[in-house]
Structures are given as C-alpha cells and as structure tokens.
Homo-oligomer: A and B are copies of this chain.
Amino acid sequence: MTLKLGVIGTGAIGADHIRRCMQTLSGARVTAVNDINAESAASAVKSYAPNAKVFSDPHALIKSDEVDAVLVTSWGPSHEEFVLASITAGKYVFCEKPLATTGEGCRHIVDAEMKHGKRLVQVGFMRPYDSGYRALKAVLDSGKIGDPLMLHCAHRNPRVGKNYNTDMAITDTLIHELDVLRWMLNDDYVSAQVIFPRKTPKSLPHLRDPQIVLLETAKGTRIDVEIFVNCQYGYDIQCEIVGELGIAKLPEPSAVLLRSEAARSEEILTDWKERFIGAYDVELQDFIDGVRSDKLRGPSAWSGYAAAVAADVCIKAQVSGAVEPINLPAQPAFYN
C-alpha cells in the first residue's frame, strides 16, 4: 500500500521533499499539504502534487485520515509543536533539523515519544545517509585504522547572508557535525571549547568568523571543527579520523580532473544544496520504508536531543572562552 504523506511547510526544503516523494522515491505519495503562507502551499501542490489537499490548519492535517505520516519542514521554532501533535495522533513523523530549538524542547519530544511507547520520530539529519560518511564509517568499523583518537573536521561555506550570526555557526552549521560525528564514533560529548582566530575581513562586523570548536568525547577522543562560513572558495566539508593505526578521510565528491591553464584541477561545489543531494533521497526513502515496515531506523529524537544539548553548551563556550562540560543523560534503552 502506498504511504500517504502530509507535509507542513512548503518552503525550499518542503517543496523539494514533495517533489522527491512524488517523482523519485518509491512507495509514498503526498496527499496533504499545509503552510502558514497559503500561496506557498498552493504553488507546491500545483508543481508537484496536483491531487494533494491543501489544509489551512496544520493540526487538522496531522489528524486527517488522508495522512498516514507527517513531514515537518516548516521553520525551526514550529517543529516542537507539530512533532508533539503527531506523537499525540500516534503518527510517524519526519522532522527537519532542528528537532526543537533547544535541548529542553527536544527533551519534551523524547519524553512524549517514550510515553507513547514506540519510536515515531525521525530527525532530518541526512549526513548519516551520505555515501561518503557511510564509507568512512565502514572503514572505521572495519578496525583498519584502530580506535579513533582524534578527528579533524571543517565546515566551510563560501559566504552567508546578513541574518547569519555567531550563534548560528553552532545551531545551523556545526549542528550537522554534532550529529554525524556522534553517529560515526558511537560516543557522546563531554566538553566543548571555542576558539576565535583572527577574523576574516570578508565577514560582517556582527559575525565572528572563523571559529574553531574543540570537543571531547566520553572515550577521550578529541575533535576539532573549523567553522568558516565566509571562506569564499567553496562549500567544503572535511572530516579526517586519526586512529591508532592509520587515518581515514571523508571522500571528496568525485569530479572531473582537468588539466588546463597550467594546473591540474577538480571543481569544488559552491552550493551546499548539491553537496549531500544524494543523501536526501536515501534518507527519505528510508523513512518511507521504515514507516511501511513499522520500524524506523534513521536519526532518532534522542539524536536530535543529544545534538541540541551539545549545541547549547557550545554557545555557552563561545561566550565564556572556557572549556565547558556537556552533561547528556545516559541514552535510555528505548533508543538502543
């Protein structure tokens, strides 16, 4: 039976997920759509899901019989409300990151889900679905490089808009590393420190850029993440794991090798949307397959919570300049 999906939020990623479900993926179709901006909803439906019903009330959409599962792709601050409502309705829900804007908000969802008694929530962290990160994890798990001791990472954007501020380097940018590295290492963060190098003149006055975040895990692995969102040259994601026996590095996206104008060169992407484009398909197909087989396997509400708790501390460390402890409760058996 084809899965009936209801989508709340039809902006950039919402519309793209609708297209994905209707034209690329298998086993689901979008039957219901809502957006606070009615025009946006209408336009998405027109482009990709002509037979879907536009709901003016997101809660009516959640409850509707036309909806088997919900995709929450509205603005971050509205996620908590819609995810909680979906749990109340006993429906599976895929929620774009962040699960909630704070650790506390995420905790409400975790509590509600555990009370409900079954995993219903998948968070839209797509990097664990990226073929590159998967290959890297496969090498790590193979034992070829021994246990991980250090990670050197970088998250670089060519430039950011005026609204991007120093906090967002954590909540919007680092958040992906916070999730994917935890998954990669199967380990939890215990402290964070933030260092501010000499600021790039390409950054606006209100934004400290670049930043270096130093994380420590429970097992003692040390992680450094360079966040540099006005690096000019490209959207570039680096992750290198230094193990006891060797080093493994995230693959570069494959590119044509050009010999021209006195250089050997390979293109670097500049648009973040292209960097993990394949991962979105795999992620959403996995959600659909998970719902259809009544067992979710993707990033859980707990993952969303863990990332949010670490992000909260990183922001504190930006201000204090000190090494700040991260206290995440032990993961409940429910989430193993």
**A→B interface (CB under 8 Å):** 22-27, 131-132, 135-136, 138-139, 144-147, 149-150, 152, 195, 197-202, 210, 212, 214, 219-222, 224, 226, 228, 231-234, 236, 242, 244-270, 278, 285
Contacts and interface: CB of A to CB of B under 8 A. Distances in A.
Nearest to A321: B323
Contacts of A198: 147, 149, 219-222
Contacts of A234: 259, 262-263
A136 B260 contact: no
Q: Counting chain B CB atoms within 10 Å of each CB, which of A24, A256, A261, A265 scores highest?
A: A256
B220 A233 contact: no
Given A135-B256, A234-B263, A265-B265, 18 more contacts: A24-B26, A132-B256, A136-B256, A139-B256, A144-B260, A145-B260, A147-B198, A149-B228, A150-B212, A195-B214, A201-B244, A233-B246, A233-B261, A233-B263, A246-B260, A252-B254, A262-B267, A263-B263
Contacts of A132: 254, 256
Contacts of A251: 254-257
25 contacts: A25-B26, A26-B26, A132-B256, A135-B256, A138-B256, A145-B260, A149-B198, A152-B152, A197-B221, A198-B222, A199-B220, A201-B244, A210-B242, A226-B242, A228-B242, A232-B244, A236-B259, A248-B256, A248-B258, A249-B257, A249-B258, A251-B254, A252-B254, A253-B254, A263-B266
